[in-house]
Structure 1
Amino acid sequence: MRFKIITLSGLLLATATPALAQEETEPAPAITVSGSATVVSDYKFRGISQTDGNFAVQGGITVSHELGFYIGTWGSSIDDYVTVHGTAHQELDLIAGFKKSFDNGVTFDIGAVYYVYPGTRPGFTGDESASDFIEPYTSIAFGLGPVTAKATVNYAPKQKALAIDQGQTGLLEKEDNVYVAGDLSASIPNTPIGLTAHLGHTWGPSWLSGPTDEYTDWSLGATATYKALTFGVQYVDTDTYFTTPTGKNAAKGGVIGSIGVSF
């Protein structure tokens, strides 16, 4: 879906130019809308399962301006242990930022994500438990032929939702969190195959770090595209642990499959 502004001069030109010529010289739209919908065998956020090892349905939409500004939203089904309240079954990310690509192959991106967990509420009498939080980010990517390298820094400033003492009356102290990651992606020429590699590290202590002050996550993956469909498989692992209410280790390594459609 695409939108654009038609000016008076553009209308006058259209009346004097054949339709075919108009299509050949028509400028790119100022605003572009894109989206996707995906089913994954497990939703892992920085290496830790948000669905207790079960399937998740995900989708998102982004509105981008030619100057580089963008807004969007992305959501996924999750398990109720993700928040302290035990009432959340969805994660909704509200995203806004600015992205700029340069002729030398460098792309700069800066913005923020606000994580919302609909349906959460204070679950303990007298405390100030929280779930929703904001996380600014910045990244720089460099493309060289079919290979793209990207470095990203996410910093969630001190806020209640990151406190490690969630649910303990009178002890809620704000915490912050830092996440640094490096990613490599490559396409195999003349094929629909893409390859990815990821390495990230989380510094806490905070609700995002689980039971440890910090941990590392990594993954290797591959994708194949067919028209609007993308099929993916990746191995995701960490050097930490996180035990869910069912007794599973949500940070344990495993293979994740996915199928998605984009527009």
Structure 2
Amino acid sequence: MKLKSPAPPCGLLLALAAGLLPTGVQAQSSRGGLFSSVWLTSDYRYQGVSSSDGNPALQAYVHWWRPDGFYAGLFATQVDFDDPGDTSYELDLYGGKTFDLKDGKTRLTLEAMFTAFPNEHVWGPTYNFVQFKAAARRAEGPWALTAATSFVPEASYGSGEAWRLEGEAAYALRPALTLKAGVGRRWIEHGHDRTYWNLGAVATWKKLSFELRYEDTDLGPAQCGFTDWCDPGLIGTLRVDLPPLM
């Protein structure tokens, strides 16, 4: 039986922690709105480790945004932990508040998230957990820098307290092409601490975007349950933004 502590993929987690908002005309609505997208990723990775047994995963989210900075949403994804109960999907329910500083370039965010695995078969501790996050994002010309931290009081399968510190730098090479690099460190009470990093690029066209990134971690085979989940990998993710729901 292979066990770990799953959560949203690194890119989405940083986006949500930074206060994911619609762009362009959508963001100008005085009432906010409800937005959604569908993703197909070649490997669902959490902090450098595969949560889909190295297989593709279908993902989607619905995000509610208000002009006063409050937001909430639901993220869903396929998972594959190769466990006896054949757990197959994850739901993340999140909500938070953004605070824009007077300089017009910096945004602070506080967020809480509940991660659930509805079809898990619980013979021991549950995979479910609660996470609290804080983040800061600063945009300066073509650069966008994000730093995020999180705390989990009780991680998946009785792993105890878990802390995370993560950062990402993005550079808009041109309007439709952004280069990205990220690094993070996770500390966990019962398990193996790890450092993870990624390097990639995102290309956009109308409602479509495609991200290609390289991900790796410092965990060895023995620390990863003698699986290939911690091996370095080249991950591709296709995203389709759907029309606003309201």
Which interval holds the TM-score relative to the shorter structure?
0.7 to 0.9
User: Residue 177 in 1 paired to residue 172 in 2?
Assistant: no
1:51 corresponds to which residue?
52
Distance in 2 separating the partners of 1:232 and 1:86: 32
Give, in angstroms, the shift of residue 100 of structure 1: 2.2
Q: How many residues align?
A: 213
Distance in 2 separating the partners of 1:40 and 1:100: 31
Distance in 2 separating the partners of 1:178 and 1:80: 22
Give, in angstroms, the shift of residue 102 of structure 1: 2.6
1:163 corresponds to which residue?
158
Secondary structure in 1 matching 2:111:
strand
1:152 corresponds to which residue?
148
Conserved in 1, the CA contact under 8 Å of 2:85 and 2:121? no
2:87 corresponds to which residue?
88
User: TM-score normalised to the size of structure 1?
Assistant: 0.76
Distance in 2 separating the partners of 1:160 and 1:67: 32
Which structure has the greater CA radius of gyration?
1
Distance in 1 separating the partners of 2:189 and 2:56: 29
Show CA shifts across 1:60-101 (max 9, x none): 0110111100110101100033xx663310011000100122
Secondary structure in 2 matching 1:53:
coil
Task: In structure 2, list runs of 5 or more residues that go unmatched.
Answer: 1-27
User: Residue 226 in 1 paired to residue 211 in 2?
Assistant: no
Distance in 1 separating the partners of 2:114 and 2:48: 20
Conserved in 2, the CA contact under 8 Å of 1:130 and 1:160? no
2:129 corresponds to which residue?
133
1:193 corresponds to which residue?
177
Secondary structure in 2 matching 1:30:
coil
Show CA shifts across 1:90-146 (max 9, x none): 0110001001223411100111111110112322xxxx5212110000001111111
Distance in 1 separating the partners of 2:227 and 2:121: 25
In the superposition, relative to structure 1, how do residues 183 and 160 fare at CA in structure 2: closer, same or farther (>3 Å)? closer
2:101 corresponds to which residue?
102
1:33 corresponds to which residue?
34
Distance in 2 separating the partners of 1:129 and 1:242: 24
Give, in angstroms, the shift of residue 248 of structure 1: 3.1
Conserved in 2, the CA contact under 8 Å of 1:129 and 1:160? no
Question: Looking at both structures, which has the greater relative contact order when contacts are Cα pairs under 8 Å and sequence separation is at least 6?
Answer: 2
User: Residue 74 in 1 paired to residue 75 in 2?
Assistant: yes
Secondary structure in 2 matching 1:188:
strand
1:256 corresponds to which residue?
235
Show CA shifts across 1:151-171 (max 9, x none): 1001001x373524xxxxxxx
Task: In structure 1, list runs of 5 or more residues that go unmatched.
Answer: 1-26, 165-174
Distance in 1 separating the partners of 2:85 and 2:143: 42
User: TM-score normalised to the size of structure 2?
Assistant: 0.81
Secondary structure in 1 matching 2:161:
strand
Conserved in 1, the CA contact under 8 Å of 2:87 and 2:121? no
Identity fraction in percent:
24
